[in-house]
Every structure is written in C-alpha cells, then in structure tokens.
C-alpha cells in the first residue's frame, strides 16, 4: 500500500528521536569545548622531541642524523647539525641539532619520522588545540618549542615509553659495563704490555655491539 | 566545426572555443537545439557534487541532452610526488586519494610493493588487513547511502544516522592506527603495529551491533515510496556498457556482472572466507543503493569469521626494511577490491629508492566516465542522484 514505507521510516525516526534522550547507545553527541572525550593512546597530532632528565640542552636524544628530514613525506622538517658534540645517554659524544624546525602547517601527522628514528628521539604529541593568531611564525615550531621531557611522553604513550625506557636503560648499563671492562683492560694492558693483544680485540668488538 | 572542441583555438577564428573545457556545447550545436537548449554549470562548488567537481549540463526544459564532467580542481600531483619520494613516504599520500577509505588504499599500495619485492605477509597481519578493509567498506557504504539520501533531499536524517555509526568504526581506527581517517597503517610486508589491548573485543561489539543499525536503516529507507520513485529506472547502466567502460565495484555488480576481485583474484586471505557477491538486476540507481546494503551484510559475515580465526603472531615480515628500501628493477601491479571498485597501483622500479613510474588506477575516475550515458534523458535533479550513486571521491578522481 502506498505510504507504508514512509510511515515505517517515520516510526524509525521517532524511535531515534526518543532514544536520543533515553538510550545511552543513541546519546552520542559530545558538547565539545565543555566535554571532551579521552584521547586514545595511539592518537597522534604533531611530532615533538624527547629529552631525558631535567635539562633539554643536556638530555636531548636527537643526534641530528637527519633521517627524519630525508624521509618526511611533505618535507616539513629542517635540521642543522651542531658544530660541537655532547655526550648521549651512553656517554658517547654525538652531534645535536643546532636548529630543528617543524612547520606544522605542512606536517601531515603521518608518523613516518617516528618510525624511522633510530634514537627514539622524535615522538607524536596528541595536543590538538593549536590555533594561533600568527599563521607563519606561530605554526613554525623551533627546537625549544618542540623539546618536551620524557615524563610528558610517559603520560601520552605509557606502553611505548616504558618499553623504550627499559631498552635504553639496558643499553646504558651494558655500555657502562663495557666502559668499565675497557678501562680495566686498558689498565691491565698498561701494567702487562704482553697481554695487550686480547685487550685490543675486546675494544674492537665494542663499537659493533654498541651501535 | 564539431571537431574543434578538443583543439586550442584561441584567437584562431573560432570564437567561444578558446577554453577547451569551458563549455559542453559549440555555438553551432547550440543553434541545432533550436534555441531551446540551456546550458548550466553545476559546481564546482555545489552541495551535490561531493567535492570540487563540475558538470556542464545542457538541458531542454528539465531533460538532460548533454552532460560533460569537468574535473581536475583537486589535482595534487600525487603520482609525480610519489615518483620523487621514497616508497615508504608515498604510503601516507595514498591515504589522501580516497580519504574515506585510507586503509584499502594502503593495502593496494602495499600489495603492489609486496608483489614487486616478494615480501611475505604474516598470518596475523593478513587478518588485520581483512578486518580493517571490511570495516572500511562498511563505513564507506554507510556514508554513501547517507549522502545519496542527502542528494535526494532527505536532508540530514539518514546521513546523520550513517555518520553516527561510522564514528564507532572511526574510533576503532583511531585506537588502532592513531588517526580517524588518515590511517597510514599498512607497511610493506605487514602492518605498522599490533592491536592495542582489547581492540578486537571492541571490533566484535561493533560488528555485533551493526546488523541492528542496518535493519533500522533499511526500515527507514528501503521501502520508502519516495526513494523508490526517485531511483528505480533512473540511471540504468547496461551490462555491455559497464564492461566496455571498465566499470568496477558496486556499479558493475549492480549491472549484473559477477566480478569481485576478492573472488576473482583471491588476494590476501579472502579465499578462506565464504561470502556471497550480491548482484543487481537492472543496473539502476536503486540497485546500486541496494547492492551496497547487501554488501555490508556480507562484509559483516567476513568480519565475524576473521575475528573468530585471527591468530597470534608477528604483524610484519622480519625481512621488511623501513629505511634504505630499494627494490630490484622490475614492475608490478597490485589491485584490490576497494569499496568503490578496483583500486590498482602500477609500479616500475629501476632499482633506486624512488619508483621510476607510479600509476594509480582510481575506481572513482573510471566509474565517472559513464556519467553522461547514465544521465541522458533524465531530469536535471536526477543527475545529482546518479552522481551520488556512482560514489566518487574527488580526492581520488583528481589525485
């Protein structure tokens, strides 16, 4: 009969309308600025640079290897390597970025930089309220704006961060042990010049394991 | 005169033809219409064109006598960019082709590269791919049905119901991949990361609840007399034309051609899943709408089975490299059954870090080629519905 389909549809609309007041499954609207949904652990917006400890200049993990700059699909990262070196968490002298800019108006939040970084130095932030009144300078983030402590990263991605911290701690312990062994071997070789050959082999192996 | 439409004739004695794409009609042809023809330009900014797309429609009264699609407003140089960046860096760009279905785009591209390199995808990653691809199909078809109703004048209600359900799926995508739409999830030889804790259970909840929504949606629409009178017999695509114009996806199957790459190619692990391929009888707009509803129900069956069988294990081939990825010289074509049709990526490698040639076979663009044939003889208001039922996304048409 003509009109039955329309009436059925109207009944459905009515059910949805009433349900939007009572049925939790249909009460889906979130009044955004007042209410906020909890962010997912994996959610990503723009990258930031992680540093260990309290001092960004000392603890910055980035060694300015420029892999992310090369791999970044929209080419929004600009890095200038430092002239001097600073020790990393293993005590090895490394370069650090003298300039590290990310143009967030170009960045497409793809996370490729995070994936290719061998030093766990760049990670995704989930800060999404980023509007500024200055569309050029305000969206171009420099190194100081990008660096954030490891504790912040811990709050964003706890699973990921604790895994990385354990790995880095292991690396550090291993490197410290190796440094101690090397120092002992050196001291031993200085004391007994004859056994120097064995001592040298250990030292030769060391960079391969550490890297 | 009729051949002059394609050539550049600026200042060479054919007034009015200078901009090749500006008009659908030559002045001579306009006169043939006896002065009763009216040429109107729908778009590029028009609510019904699903993006920046323009139709030059020539009308006699309300009836379409000629229609010319004009696109390219959203051209972003996708293929050339991909030839200039590494294989990995093109992956997030594929998200932006058909921005409704980023996961299937990822899969097609990953499949092409895997064919090129010969990477094996671990079992769990294959299941994750099927699950994410079928979820993508669900949300794409839901949106499409909503937009189709919007085009028909049912402003808001079906579309918002569709969007409400789609949001549950996008939430799943966000907790798995980090982004609602630009997922960038698949990698050559697997997937980027494993599922977060409890994710599969969330998918199970959505999959169990979805049939109820589909029933509601069908109650709302399928038997609706207005919908039937607006869509039945409108925009009929014949079998012959569909095959000759290499139409693919739901449009092809609505015309009655049994061709689904999930069955024909059996890529990934699709041969393991028993599902039916729904087919249309008439190839009209109603069939295209109905077919998508039926396809969603089949997708749910695939999802149920995949969720039951998904094994534990690694999600990426250990041989796969992220950096310094240089395939051996060769060529490969990877294609999948995307929600809109056959999505293919053709790659030629010369051994370098970038593809030598990178070509996308976009289903939206090729399905769009029959638009004029479908619209001729119908009312101008029907062109809007026909365009909606073809299901195009301009990001993919223009690339």
Residue B132 sits in the same domain as residue B198: yes
A–B interface: beta-carbon pairs under 8 A: 87
Mean of pLDDT values over B7-12: 40
Question: Residue with structure tokens 């028993």?
Answer: B274
Question: Which residues in chain A are contacts of B232 at CB distance < 8 A?
Answer: none
Any domain includes B21: yes
Q: Which run of H or E residues covers position B360?
A: strand B355-361
Q: Could you tell me which chain B residue has the CA closest to the CA of A3? A: B225
Q: Would B144 be classed as within a structural domain? A: yes
Contact B235, B386 (CB under 8 A): yes
When CB atoms are compared, the residue of B89, B174, B209 closest to A40 is: B174
> Does residue A9 lie in a domain region?
no
pTM assigned to the model: 0.83
Q: Contact, A98 vs B78, CB < 8 A?
A: no
Which of B85, B164, B221 lies closest to A73 in CB terms?
Answer: B85
- Within this chain, do residues B246 and B373 fall inside the same structural domain, yes or no? yes
Residues B186 and B255 placed together within one structural domain of the fold: yes
Region B34-42: mean pLDDT is 77
In a domain, B73, yes or no: no
* Residues B256, B129 share a domain: yes
Per-residue DSSP letters for chain A?
-TTHHHHHHHHHHHHHHHHHHH-TTT-----TTTS-PPPPTT---SEEEEE-SS-HHHHB------HHHHH-TT--EEEEE-SS-EE-TTS-EE--EEEEEEETTT-----HHHHH-TTS-EEE--------S-TTTTTEE-HHHHEEEHHHHHHH-HHHHHHHHHHHHHHHHHHHHHHHHHHHHHHHHHH-GGGHHHHHHHHHHHHHHH-
Residues of chain A neighbouring B89 (CB-CB closer than 8 A): 71-73, 112
Residue B57 domain flag: no
In a domain, A22, yes or no: no
Low-confidence stretches of chain A (pLDDT beneath 70): 1, 192-211
Beta-ladder partners of B68: B56
A117 and A183 co-located in one domain: no
Structure confidence at residue B24 (pLDDT)? 57
Contact A5 B224 (CB under 8 A): yes
Contact A59, A51 (CB under 8 A): yes
Residue B6 in this model has a pLDDT that exceeds 60: no
Minimum CA–CA partner of A27 in chain B: B164
Cα nearest neighbour of A1 on chain B: B225
Nearest CA to CA, how far is B28 from chain A (Å)?
Answer: 47
Model confidence over B342-395: pLDDT tens digits? 999 999 988 888 889 899 998 988 988 888 888 888 888 888 888 888 888 888
Min Cα separation A188/chain B (Å): 42
Specify if B50 maps to a domain.
Answer: no
Higher pLDDT, B102 or A89: B102
Q: Inform me whether the pLDDT recorded for B12 exceeds 80.
A: no
pLDDT at B391: 84
Q: Which domain holds residue A192?
A: 163-210
Say what the pLDDT of residue B35 is: 66
Q: Do B93 and A40 touch (CB under 8 A)?
A: no
Which tens digit of pLDDT belongs to each residue from B166-184?
Answer: 889 998 999 998 888 888 8
Give residue A204's pLDDT: 44
Residues recorded for chain B: 399
What integer pLDDT is reported at residue B132 of this predicted model? 92
Partner-chain residue, chosen from B184, B223, B323, that has the shortest CB–CB distance to A67: B323
**Residue B345, pLDDT score:** 92
For residues B12-28, average pLDDT: 50
Residue B348 C-alpha, separation from nearest chain A C-alpha, in angstroms: 20
Q: Nearest Cβ partner of A109 from B89, B182, B196? A: B182
Distance in angstroms (rounded) separating the CA atoms of residues A42 and B185: 12
Which residues of chain B neighbour A108 with C-beta distances below 8 Å? 92, 182
Distances in Å between the Cα of B8 and the Cα atoms of A84, A116, B22, B27, B208 are 60, 48, 12, 16, 58
C-alpha B362/C-alpha B347 separation (Å) is: 14
Q: What are phi and psi of B245, to 5 degrees?
A: -90, 10
Q: Which of B31, B36, B43 is nearest to B67 (CA)?
A: B43
Q: B186 and B92: one domain?
A: yes
Q: Do the domain assignments include residue A62? A: yes
Look at residue B370 and tell me if it is in a domain: yes
> With contact defined as beta carbons under 8 Å apart, do B322 and B89 qualify?
no
**What single-letter DSSP state applies at residue A195?**
G
What does the pLDDT look like over B313-328, one tens digit per residue? 888 887 777 777 888 8
Does A141 lie in the same domain as A198? no
**Residue A57 sits in the same domain as residue A127:** yes
DSSP run (H or E) holding A178: helix A158-191
**Angle formed by the axes of helices B380-390 and B123-152, nearest 10°:** 170
Q: Which residue has the tokens 């500006």?
A: B22
- How far is residue B10's CA from residue B327's CA, in Å, rounded to a whole number? 47
- On the question of pLDDT at B93 being above 80, the answer is yes
In a domain, B231, yes or no: yes
Classified as helix, coil or strand, B15 is: coil
Smallest Cα distance from A84 to chain B, Å: 27
Mutation site, A30, A42, A66, interface B, largest B CB count within 10 A: A42
Place of tokens 């990921």: A160
The chain-wide mean pLDDT, for chain B, equals 84
Number of independent structural domains in chain B: 2
Q: Say whether both A77 and A148 belong to one domain.
A: yes
Is B219 close to A8, i.e. CB distance below 8 A?
Answer: yes
Q: Is residue B185 pLDDT above 50, yes or no?
A: yes
Residues A82 and A59 in one domain: yes
Does residue A124 share a domain with residue A61?
yes
Contact residues, chain A, for B157 at CB < 8 Å: 13
| B178/A112 CB distance under 8 A | no
- Report the CATH number that the domain containing residue B377 is assigned in CATH: 1.10.645.10
Tell me which residues of chain B, numbers 70 to 109, contact chain A at a CB-CB cutoff of 8 Å. 85-86, 88-93, 95
CATH code for the domain in which residue A56 is found: 3.30.70.3270
Q: Which residue of A has its CA nearest to B216?
A: A12
- The nearest CA of chain A is from the CA of B229 a distance in Å of 11
User: Which residues in chain B have Cβ-Cβ distances shorter than 8 Å to A69?
Assistant: none
Task: Tell me which chain B residues have a C-beta less than 8 angstroms from the C-beta of A40.
Answer: 171, 174-175, 178, 196
Which residues in chain A touch residue B167, judged by CB atoms under 8 angstroms apart?
Answer: 28
B115 and B12 inside one domain: no
Q: Looking at the predicted structure, is the pLDDT value of residue B50 above 80?
A: no
Name the band, by pLDDT with cuts 50, 70 and 90, for residue B135.
Answer: very high
Residue A187 lies in a domain: yes
A105 in B contact zone (CB under 8 Å): no
- Provide the domain limits for residue B325: 86-398
In this structure, the answer to whether residues A63 and A125 fall within a common structural domain is: yes
The total of structural domains in chain A comes to: 2
Instruction: Tell me if A42 and B175 make a contact (CB, 8 A cut-off).
Output: yes
Contact B42, B55 (CB under 8 A): yes
C-alpha B292/C-alpha B249 separation (Å) is 10
C-alpha span between A28 and A38 (Å, rounded): 14
Nearest residue in chain A measured CA to CA from B214: A12
Label residue A61 left, alpha or beta by phi (over 0 means left) and psi (-120 to 50 means alpha). Answer: alpha
Q: Give tens-digit pLDDT for B235-276.
A: 888 888 889 988 998 989 988 888 888 888 888 888 888 888
Asked whether residue A129 is assigned to any structural domain, the reply reads yes
Asked if A51 and A147 sit in the same domain, the reply is yes
pLDDT at B22 over 60: no
Report the residue of B77, B168, B180, B184 to disrupt the A interface, i.e. the one with the largest count of A CBs within 10 Å. B184
């Amino acid at each position: 009969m003509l009109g039955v389909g329309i009436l059925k549809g109207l009944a459905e609309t009515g059910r949805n309308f009433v349900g939007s007041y009572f049925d939790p499954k249909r009460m889906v609207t979130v009044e955004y600025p007042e209410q906020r949904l909890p962010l997912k652990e994996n959610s990503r917006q723009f990258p930031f640079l992680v540093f260990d400890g309290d001092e960004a200049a000392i603890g910055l993990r980035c060694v300015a290897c420029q892999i992310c700059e090369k791999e970044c699909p929209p080419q929004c990262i600009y890095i200038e390597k430092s002239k001097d070196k600073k020790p990393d968490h293993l005590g090895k002298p490394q370069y650090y970025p003298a300039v590290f800019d990310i143009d967030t108006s170009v960045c497409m939040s793809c996370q490729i930089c995070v994936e290719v970084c061998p030093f766990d130095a760049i990670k995704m932030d989930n800060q999404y309220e980023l509007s500024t009144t200055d569309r050029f300078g305000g969206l171009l983030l420099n190194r100081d704006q990008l660096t954030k402590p490891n504790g912040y990263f811990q709050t964003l991605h706890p699973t990921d961060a604790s895994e990385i911290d354990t790995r880095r701690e292991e690396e550090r312990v291993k490197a410290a042990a190796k440094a101690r062994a090397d120092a002992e071997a050196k001291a031993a070789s200085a004391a007994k010049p004859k056994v120097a050959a064995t001592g040298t082999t250990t030292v030769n192996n060391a960079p391969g394991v550490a890297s | 005169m009729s051949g002059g439409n394609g050539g550049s004739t600026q200042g060479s004695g054919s007034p009015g033809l200078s901009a090749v794409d500006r008009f659908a009609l030559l002045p001579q042809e306009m006169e043939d219409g006896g002065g009763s023809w009216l040429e109107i330009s729908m778009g590029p900014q028009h609510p019904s064109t699903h993006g920046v797309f323009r139709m030059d429609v020539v009308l006699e009264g309300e009836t379409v006598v000629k229609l010319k699609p004009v696109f390219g407003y959203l051209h972003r140089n996708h293929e050339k960019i991909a030839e200039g960046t590494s294989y990995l860096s093109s992956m997030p760009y594929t998200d932006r082709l058909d921005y409704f279905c980023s996961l299937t785009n990822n899969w097609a591209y990953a499949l092409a590269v895997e064919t090129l390199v010969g990477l094996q995808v671990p079992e769990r990653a294959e299941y994750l791919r099927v699950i994410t691809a079928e979820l993508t199909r669900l949300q794409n078809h839901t949106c499409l049905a909503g937009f189709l109703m919007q085009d028909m004048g049912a402003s808001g209600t079906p579309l918002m119901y569709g969007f409400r359900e789609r949001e549950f799926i996008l939430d799943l995508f966000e907790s798995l991949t980090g982004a609602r739409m630009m997922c960038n999830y698949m990698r050559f030889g697997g997937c980027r990361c494993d599922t977060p804790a409890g994710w599969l259970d969330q998918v199970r909840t959505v999959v169990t609840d979805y049939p109820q929504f589909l029933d509601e949606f069908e109650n709302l629409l399928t038997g609706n007399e207005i919908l039937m009178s607006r869509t039945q017999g409108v925009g009929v695509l014949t079998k012959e034309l569909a095959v000759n114009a290499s139409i693919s996806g739901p449009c092809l199957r609505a015309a009655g051609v049994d061709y689904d790459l999930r069955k024909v190619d059996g890529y990934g692990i699709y041969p393991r899943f028993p599902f039916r391929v729904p087919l249309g009888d008439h190839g009209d707009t109603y069939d295209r709408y109905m077919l998508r509803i039926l396809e969603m129900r089949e997708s749910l069956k695939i999802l149920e089975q995949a969720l039951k069988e998904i094994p534990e294990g690694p999600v990426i081939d250990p041989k796969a490299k992220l950096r310094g990825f240089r395939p051996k010289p060769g060529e490969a074509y990877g294609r999948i059954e995307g929600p809109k049709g056959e999505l293919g990526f053709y790659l030629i490698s010369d051994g370098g870090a970038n593809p030598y040639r990178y070509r996308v076979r976009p289903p939206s663009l090729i399905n769009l080629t029959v638009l004029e044939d479908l619209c001729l003889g119908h009312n101008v208001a029907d062109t809007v519905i026909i365009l909606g039922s073809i299901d195009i996304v301009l990001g993919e048409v223009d690339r």
